[in-house]
Amino acid sequence: MLPSCASSSRALLACSCRAQRWLPVRSSPSFRQFSSAPLPRDFTFHPDFFTVQEQCVLLKAALRKLDSMESSRYRRRRKEFLRTSAPAGTQDSVQGLFLPDELYDFQEGHFDGVIKHYREMHVTSWPEDMPDLPSLLDRLRTVHPDQDTQTHILHLASKGEILPHVDNLEASGSWILGVSLGDERVLRLENPSSRERYELSLPSGSVYLQRDSIRYNYQHSILAKPDGRQRLSIMIRDRKAAGSP
C-alpha cells in the first residue's frame, strides 16, 4: 500500500484522459490564438495520471537519485537542515518534499544555454528499496511506444526555466514523455515557421507525450513565473536506432 499523503488533498483519478483546452496566447498578435483549440496532433496529455500518493513516491525516488550525485558539502547541509529545522510544509505533500533552494547545487545555466537554474542526471537504475516504485514505472510504459528508452531527471529551482528549443535529434528518436512533479508550470509549443503557438498548464502528476510533428517542428519551453516554486520532471525518450538518419 502506498504511504499516506496530505489528507486535505482531493483524490485524483489515475490515467484520466479528460478533454483539455490550451491556454489563450496573448503575448503577440502575430501568433494565432488557441483559447478553445483541442490538443494538437501528435500530442497526448493525461492531466491526472498519478495520484498525490504516487507523486510522492516518484519524487522521493528522483530526489534521492539527484542528491546522491551532489558533493558531500551539499549533502551535509541538507542533513543539518533536516536535523535542526522543521519542514516548511508537510512531508506528505508533493511540494513539501522539496527543501529550500539554497540546499541544492542548482546550476546557473546549461552548456547550450537552454536551461536556467537546474539539476539534472541520466538514470539507468532506480532505488530498489521502494516497493511501490516499480508498478508506477510500469504504468508509464503503457502510454509510450514499446521501444528502447533513456530516462532523464530534470529539477528546476523556484526561478528555473527552460527556454525554447528542439531536443538534439542526433541523440534521441521521435518521441518524448514527460512526468511533471511539483510546481505547476506552463508548457509552450511554438512552430517558428508557421508561427503557431500552443500553451498548456502542467499540473503535478500529469503526463504528456509529444511525438513526430510536435517533436520535430515545434520548439518547446517551460515558462518561468514570478512566484514559482521547485519543479521536477522525469523525461523518457526513445533511443535513436543505430544507423538511422
> Which cell numbers in the block locate residue 207?
503526463
The whole-model pTM stands at: 0.83
Place of cell 523556484: 158
Largest CA-CA distance found in the chain, in angstroms, rounded: 55
Q: Are 68 and 15 in contact (CB under 8 A)?
A: no
**Percent of the chain residues past pLDDT 70, beyond the cut:** 77
Give the pairing type, strands 115-123 and 107-109: antiparallel
Backbone φ and ψ of 105, nearest 5°: -90, 70
Q: Look at residue 20 in the predicted model and tell me its pLDDT.
A: 46
The model's pLDDT over 206-229, given as tens digits with 9 standing for 90+, comes to: 999 999 889 888 999 999 999 999
- Contact between 186 and 26 (Cβ < 8 Å): no
User: What is the average pLDDT across 175-190?
Assistant: 96
Task: Identify the bridge partners of residue 179 per DSSP, sorted by sequence position.
Answer: 207, 234
Find the Cα–Cα–Cα–Cα dihedral 127, 133, 136, 141, rounded to 10°.
Answer: 30
Q: Give the C-alpha distances (Å, rounded to integers) separating 123 from 1, 140, 153, 225.
A: 25, 15, 7, 28
Residue 202: which of 138, 141, 156 has the closest Cα? 156
What does the DSSP 8-state code read for residue 126? -
Residue 216: strand, helix, or coil: helix
Give the 3-state secondary structure of residue 109.
Answer: strand
pLDDT, the chain, mean: 83
Q: How far apart are CA 94 and CA 98, in angstroms?
A: 8
* Confidence band for 92, pLDDT divided at 50, 70 and 90: low
Angle, alpha carbons 32-44-191 (nearest 5°): 30
Asked whether residue 186 carries a pLDDT value surpassing 50, the answer given is yes
- Nearest in space to 184 (alpha carbons), one of 214, 222, 234, 155: 222
Q: How far apart are CA 222 and CA 209, in angstroms?
A: 15
pLDDT at 87: 59
Q: Return the higher-pLDDT residue of 1 and 38.
A: 38
Report the pLDDT averaged over residues 77-94.
Answer: 78
32-36, 102-106, 217-221: which range is least confident on average? 32-36
- Calculate what percentage of the chain has a pLDDT beyond 90: 62
Q: Across residues 133-159, what is the average pLDDT?
A: 94
Cell of residue 222, nine digits:
517551460
Q: Is the pLDDT of residue 8 over 80?
A: no
Count of other CB atoms within 10 angstroms of residue 245: 5
Per the structure block, which three cell numbers stand in for 91? 512531508
Look at 49-53, 89-93, 189-193, 198-202 and tell me which has the smallest mean pLDDT.
Answer: 89-93
pLDDT of 39 reads 77
pLDDT in tens, 59-73: 999 999 999 999 999
Q: Which residue type sits at 116?
A: K
Q: How is residue 186 written as a grid cell?
A: 506552463
Statement: residue 55 has pLDDT above 90: yes
